[in-house]
Amino acid sequence: MTVSLEVSDGVGTIRLDRPPMNALDVATQDRLRELAEEATRRDDVRAVVLYGGEKVFAAGADIKEMQAMDHAAMVMRSKALQDSFTAVARIPKPVVAAVTGYALGGGCELALCADFRIAGDNAKLGQPEILLGLIPGAGGTQRLARLVGPAKAKDLIFTGRHVRAEEALTMGLVDRVVPAAEVYEQAHAWAAKLAKGPALALRAAKEAVDAGLETDIDTGLTIERTWFAGLFATEDRERGMRSFVEEGPGKAKFL
């Protein structure tokens, strides 16, 4: 399998494994979508880590495979390509990308689908599609601009340049830089901590933020208000408030 899902401590690790560079061919894209949907369904998966291994996250699309496609073939394929990444972005649970080595093109776009990105000090990220006479096609023009702003996104997309981990941190493309050998450990620890939290409230928080960013402030506040009130019907809310009153803040244990 080019992509696998392994679960421990409530954390599902979606692992890319297509040596040597984890190139994202059609089969890998489709498998990624399947496992993202599985992680969404499974109750024992409460948070997710995206990981490509110790040496590389994903160096982009399979260029040889793409070169063989003409316009008609890509018209038919492009939505499935985007859908595979969107399935990851829409996992209704906390998702962290553990980025080592190259995260270029589709690899960078996959990292953009996470809620949080931890990069190794050896990481290099970028959207080099312009060097192929293309633009990003798996969400890069949209998710990158929303994350770092249009000017920084255009810089990366127009030039196709790679940025090292520290510059990526400065521009907001990644959220933490750690020694390369510690990337997965720290990503898993972040996810495991959140996996112990209230699942419905975390889902609500993610959807409220993500959906709110796509609309005007009044509609966003309506989304927030609806989720906020709805959570008063949950056992997690009852458990959290009871613990606060009886034991003090931060001591609630959620199922």
The residues annotated with a catalytic role in the active site are 61, 106, 109, 129
Q: Which two tokens stand for residue 31?
A: 């498998």
Q: Cβ(97)–Cβ(57) under 8 Å?
A: yes
